Amino acid sequence: MGPVVTAARLLEVMQASPYFFDGLKVRFHVSLAFTGAGYGSHRVTILGLAGFDPENYDPDEAETALAVIHATHIITATDLSPLNFDPKLD
């Protein structure tokens, strides 16, 4: 749950910022860097950046959102311009 909450908080900061954001890059550190993909950290971080949160999580919507992000390399978040994001590179 930590990565999705952290990603959601980042979105809040970006939404409140006067700056324009073109894209995102994610770097994991400490334990997430060693266990990330195997424990789903990458997946939940992407979902958090797409505006999902643990309290209102809909598995079907999440799968659809992940498929769209993987296909388009774009994250669409409320109150932000589309964000370039390649799940395999960023």
Q: How many residues does the chain have?
A: 90
* pLDDT at site 7: 84
How far apart (Å, rounded) are the C-alpha atoms in residues 54 and 80?
21
The residues spanned by each domain of the chain are 2-84
Instruction: Write out pLDDT tens, residues 28-47.
Output: 766 555 565 556 778 888 88
Residue 46 or residue 68, greater confidence? 68
Residue 47 or residue 57, greater confidence? 47
Mean pLDDT calculated for residue range 5-23: 88
Computed from CA positions of residues 3, 73, 38, 52, in that sequence, does the dihedral angle turn out positive or negative? positive
